[in-house]
Every structure is written in C-alpha cells, then in structure tokens.
C-alpha cells in the first residue's frame, strides 16, 4: 500500500534497478476492496512474470494466507521478500534488523532520562513488529521502569493516535513507534492531550521516510537503508532468474538512529 511513504521510496529504488537491467517493472498495490495479493500473483503468472518482490505483504503476517507464495515456489518463479517473513516460505529475504532498531530507540530515550517508555507496534501477527516487541521487552526488563506498556495498532495515523492515547494513561514520557506514520499519529495524540513534543513526551519513529525532517517538530526516527536494501533485493531476484544459487536466507541490514527535534530530556 502506498499511504506509507517508505513503500513508494522502495518501489522507486527497485523499479529503477530493474529497469537498468532491462526489465519492465510492474507495481501492484494493495487498496481497500481491490485485488487480493493472491489475485495479483495469479494475474502475474498468466502474464509469465519473470520474478516478484514482495514488500509490506502477507509474508510478514502470521495469520494471513500464504498459498500464493507456495504456488510461485512450485512454478519455479523467483521471488524476494522485503522485511521479516514467517518461517517456511523458502524465498530469500532482505530485512532491516528490527531488534537493533528497537534497541537503538529505547537506548536513546533512556539516555535522555526517560524511564516510562511505551511501544506502539503494528498488528500482533506482524513479524517485524514482533521482533521490535521482543527487543523492546528485553531492554525494558533490564531498565528501571516497573511498567513498559505496549499497544498494537494498524499502520495508520489514526492507529498511532489511538494507541498513544492509551499509552498516555500509563504516564509514559517516551513513545517508540513501529513506523513514521504511527509516530505522526502519536504526536497528534500528545497534543490532543494538552501536552507538548518533546517537552512532555518524546516520540521516536521508524523508517525515516520522506519529509520527516520537515514535520513539527522534525521526527527522531530509525532509518531503514532503503537504497541498499532495494538494490540487494533486485540482485537476489536477478540471480535467481539467471539460475545462480541463492539460498532462502535473510540478509539483515543495519538501521541508523537519526536524532531530530521530537525527542528531548525527560
């Protein structure tokens, strides 16, 4: 889906890298009431597609249907998965290290004196969110705070706002979000509660998507190395097309904390 600006950015990198190699990129997007992921795969197979890159798709959702991935595997169609996948799909995966990302965000807030830190994660069956939650829980367990509240939300501005409103009832002074869109919703929730960012509550996003340095305040976030990851995904895809041995392993890329104005001392 294209509401999160990180996906158009990734599509631009992947599409450009494919075009440079002589392929014609086709973008299939998720829209409410539109074609399902399985429908798209069926259509692409009818068109004799050379390979598929999946980003923000069902491979990262434990409770979603996955038969279309197995169909691609049975047909011998190359595919690459972007960001954490469930087990057993047998395709290579290109991911940002979610556990490191959550650790960077938590350590940053703790270094500013925050003790009551909350997490706004994606849906409970979302694999990248599960990894962030595991790292957050481990850091919180070693920290001084008796409570480390967690809220799950859909990846939307409204979801971030609702989840953060619930976190504020726990008295958090720091909020870590699983996407920049969720973080913008968190900032809105803080302001609706009559509080300020970062004066009363610090907010950390995830992705470093477009224009996050232009928000008010500019968003502290954990950057995904989209350029490098997109090019790696295309290289893995083309290698499969050319019958080069590619193992169904996960390439983990290091995230980078980008400190801006949405975080400050407790």
Q: How far is CA 146 from CA 102, 108, 140, 258, in A?
A: 19, 19, 9, 28
What DSSP state is assigned to residue 263?
-
Give the model confidence (pLDDT) of 199-228 as tens digits. 999 999 999 999 999 999 999 999 999 999
Give the model confidence (pLDDT) of 223-255 as tens digits. 999 999 999 999 999 999 998 888 889 999 999
The backbone torsions φ and ψ at residue 262, rounded to the nearest 5 degrees and listed phi first, read -85, 0
CA distance linking residue 205 with residue 171, whole number of Å:
19
CA distance linking residue 98 with residue 222, whole number of Å:
10
């Amino acid at each position: 889906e294209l509401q999160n600006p990180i996906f158009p950015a990734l599509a631009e990198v992947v599409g450009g890298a494919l075009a440079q190699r002589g392929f014609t990129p086709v973008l299939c997007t998720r829209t409410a009431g539109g074609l399902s992921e399985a429908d798209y795969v069926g259509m692409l197979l009818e068109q004799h597609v050379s390979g598929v890159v999946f980003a923000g798709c069902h491979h990262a959702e434990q409770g979603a249907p996955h038969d279309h991935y197995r169909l691609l595997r049975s047909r011998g169609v190359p595919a690459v998965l972007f960001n954490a996948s469930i087990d057993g799909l047998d395709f290579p995966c290109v991911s940002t290290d979610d556990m490191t990302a959550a650790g960077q965000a938590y350590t940053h807030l703790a270094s500013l004196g925050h003790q009551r830190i909350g997490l706004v994660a994606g849906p409970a069956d979302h694999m990248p969110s599960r990894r962030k939650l595991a790292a957050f829980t481990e850091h919180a367990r070693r920290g001084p705070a008796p409570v480390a509240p967690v809220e799950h939300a859909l990846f939307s501005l409204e979801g971030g706002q609702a989840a953060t409103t619930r976190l504020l009832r726990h008295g958090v002074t720091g909020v870590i979000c699983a996407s920049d869109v969720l973080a913008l919703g968190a900032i809105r929730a803080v302001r609706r509660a009559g509080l300020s960012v970062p004066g009363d509550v610090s907010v950390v996003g995830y992705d470093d998507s477009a224009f996050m340095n232009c928000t008010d305040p500019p968003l502290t976030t954990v950057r995904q190395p989209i350029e490098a990851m997109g090019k790696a995904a295309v290289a893995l895809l083309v290698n499969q097309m050319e019958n080069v041995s590619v193992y169904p392993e996960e390439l983990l890329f290091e995230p980078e904390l980008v400190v801006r104005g949405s975080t400050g001392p407790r």
